[in-house]
Chains A and B, each alone.
Chain A
Amino acid sequence: MAVVAFIVFSLLYLTPGDPAAVIAGDVATEDDIKRIRQSLGLDQPFLVRFGTWVWSLFHGDLGISIFTNLPVTKLIAQRVEPTISLTICTLIVAIITSVPLGTIAAARAESKTDRAIMGFSVLGFSLPVFVLAYLLILLFSLQLQILPVQGYRPIAEGVWPWLKHLILPSLALGTVYAALITRITRASVLDVLAQDYIRTAQAKGLEERNILIHHALKNAAVPIITIIGIGIGLLISGAVVTETVFAIPGIGRLTVDAILRRDYPVIQGVILIFSATYVIINLLIDLSYVFFDPRIRY
């Protein structure tokens, strides 16, 4: 985490663009710019600035947005709900489609079903999120007119309007993710199916369904859970794009706006928060292995 913080900070320090000049505008004099730079502490040396930044970080202070003059933490807090809703819906969509598909593909390995599922999975990888998003809008919103084109409703306004606005974004975002999980599920279930205890179960005359769910899938869980964690990174990057296409006022949208305005404190804050989430989720996933595989101990 410390390394991340350092990288994020130095990245933005090495920027050629001067935020002071951006705030001051076109008519500002040299003196104005110098004054703004001083008030923002931009004239301090690198390590001093990094020190102050880390110090305030520990106090839960991510600085103040250059553009809107609001604290970055507040800006992010305002935008958290849509992004979390989107991520959770996407996770649900992706997991309930991909795990069964991957298991079926493994159980019917080398068959037509398997080929078809794997073919779709490669397709899912190759379609960029926004392409899929536009295709979905075209079909469901413009042709069939059953779902809204863009926008977001907070969950406080009712569950159905909220869900209605999230269906297409989650489908678009979930496909890439589902493709990834399907592949890993298939590989890992195939591995387990080659084990002796599966043959024992088959010899006992257990139902195939039963074997697949209780014996195979349970033992194949660790790689699947791992890829779900790694995929969170994909989800975060995808959220930035999806929120842009569907005009959802989430953190992703905030990132894009901040980049276009060169609002460094916001960019720093957002990337740090995203990376922290990613690291923490993956840590939790590492710890959850104990649940799925009692042989693992820490």
Chain B
Amino acid sequence: MSTPTLSSTGSYFSIAHWWSFASVRIPALYQRYPFAVLGAFILLAMIFIALFAPYLWTVDPQAVTPLNRLKQPSIEFWFGTDALGRDVYSRVMYGARVSLIVGISVALLSTLIGLAIGLITGFVRAIDAVVMRIMDGLMSIPSILLAIALMALTKASIENVIIAITLAEIPRVVRLVRSLVLTLREQPYVEAATASGTPLLKTLIRHILPNTMAPLLVQATYICASAMITEAILSFIGAGTPPNIPSWGNIMAESRSLFQIAGYLILFPSIFLSITVLAVNYLGDGLRDALDPRLSRRM
């Protein structure tokens, strides 16, 4: 993105333009969807923390200083130190990276793959029967259990965590997209497209795809939230992110046995995790209200 300059006031790329835009639109949005805007701001703050973790008064999150073992939170160590004398504040700040990377990649990957499979199964009857049986099978294994099983097979790494959670989430996306496609394909404009000889692929992309976007976007935010929780759970039971990368789940897992003497070790990462997940959920609720007014009254 190009950096806006003050000299070009009034043009599309100026700060003034964006400021006037933001100062009008954001309060208006806040009026209508207070929680969603709040959620978006918290999420932006978390992304900021994740991106600039090294510059936020942190030290090396892996630096072991045995002299400073298990220090209570103080001015020197804001969130205290753990059993190896590592600075918990730094570890929590760096931990934001893992949660956000996992949450966002799982949301993107599972919606994209689920969308592709859902579009095809919704439209092609022959593939539908087979694929949906496989999806039913996958769905009958509770998703966290499936992710745990997949992680047990592979070695611990962030990529594998993302793949495992994505695989566990795909069936739900496929179900959603398929049910949307099944109603959409009966619409007159789709019939018209088919009747006028539009190729299948073009019908899918031009007519079906745009109509699945709104519910899918909402679903993606919920997946993002649940993926972050799943990552923390996997790390917590020792089948997730490798221990040499600080993640919120890892910090809690390492402090499990120390809980009674150093509760703060669990407290800080769990506060961050909960707030982030809450923010994403609020954002999802807001998006749903904004994109589907019919549902907002009900849910």
A binding-site residues for B, Cβ under 8 Å: 1, 3-4, 6-8, 11-12, 14-17, 122-123, 125-131, 134-135, 137-138, 142, 149, 183, 186-187, 190-191, 233-234, 236-238, 240-241, 244-245, 255-256, 259-260, 262, 267, 271, 274-275, 278-279
Among B104-112, B131-139, B176-184, B189-197, which stretch is in contact with chain A?
B131-139
CB < 8 Å A-B pair total: 132
A236 to B146, CA, bound (A): 11
Is there an interface contact between B149 and A131, defined as CB atoms closer than 8 Å? no
Is there an interface contact between A16 and B154, defined as CB atoms closer than 8 Å? yes
Is there an interface contact between A262 and B152, defined as CB atoms closer than 8 Å? yes
- Indicate whether A4 sits within 8 Å of B137 (C-beta atoms), given known contacts A142-B260, A241-B236: yes
Cβ-closest chain A residue relative to B232: A128
Report A85 CB to chain B, min CB distance, Å: 19
- Indicate whether A3 sits within 8 Å of B134 (C-beta atoms), given known contacts A15-B153, A134-B259: yes
Question: B251 contacts the other chain (Cβ, under 8 Å)?
Answer: no
Cβ-closest chain A residue relative to B285: A122
* Chain B positions 141 through 162: 1 when the CB is less than 8 Å from some CB of chain A, otherwise 0: 1111100111111110000000
A240 to B147, CA, bound (A): 12
For residue B46, which residues in chain A have a CB less than 8 angstroms away from its CB?
A: none
Is there an interface contact between A149 and B260, defined as CB atoms closer than 8 Å? yes
User: 8 closest Cβ contacts across the A-B interface?
Assistant: A3-B137, A237-B144, A233-B142, A131-B270, A126-B278, A126-B277, A259-B152, A15-B153
Interface of B is mostly: helix
- Indicate whether A271 sits within 8 Å of B149 (C-beta atoms), given known contacts A122-B285, A126-B281, A234-B142: yes
Question: B229 contacts the other chain (Cβ, under 8 Å)?
Answer: yes
Is there an interface contact between A7 and B141, defined as CB atoms closer than 8 Å? yes
Is there an interface contact between B149 and A11, defined as CB atoms closer than 8 Å? yes
Is there an interface contact between A4 and B237, defined as CB atoms closer than 8 Å? no
Show 25 residue pairs from A and B whose CB-CB distance is below 8 angstroms, ordered by the A residue.
Answer: A11-B150, A16-B154, A16-B155, A17-B153, A128-B273, A128-B277, A129-B233, A130-B233, A130-B252, A131-B266, A134-B252, A134-B259, A134-B267, A135-B270, A234-B142, A237-B145, A238-B144, A240-B144, A240-B237, A255-B145, A255-B148, A256-B238, A271-B141, A275-B141, A279-B140
For residue A6, which residues in chain B have a CB less than 8 angstroms away from its CB?
A: 137
For residue B267, which residues in chain A have a CB less than 8 angstroms away from its CB?
A: 134
17 further A-B pairs in the complex, CB-CB below 8 A; given A7-B141, A130-B270: A12-B153, A14-B153, A122-B278, A125-B281, A126-B225, A127-B277, A128-B233, A128-B277, A131-B252, A134-B267, A142-B260, A241-B233, A259-B148, A260-B238, A267-B149, A275-B142, A278-B141
- Indicate whether A131 sits within 8 Å of B148 (C-beta atoms), given known contacts A3-B136, A122-B282, A240-B237: no
Is there an interface contact between B140 and A4, defined as CB atoms closer than 8 Å? yes
Is there an interface contact between A131 and B274, defined as CB atoms closer than 8 Å? yes
Is there an interface contact between B277 and A233, defined as CB atoms closer than 8 Å? no
Is there an interface contact between B236 and A237, defined as CB atoms closer than 8 Å? no
For residue A186, which residues in chain B have a CB less than 8 angstroms away from its CB?
A: 299
Is there an interface contact between B281 and A274, defined as CB atoms closer than 8 Å? no
Is there an interface contact between A237 and B143, defined as CB atoms closer than 8 Å? yes
Report A111 CB to chain B, min CB distance, Å: 14
Cβ-closest chain B residue relative to A12: B153
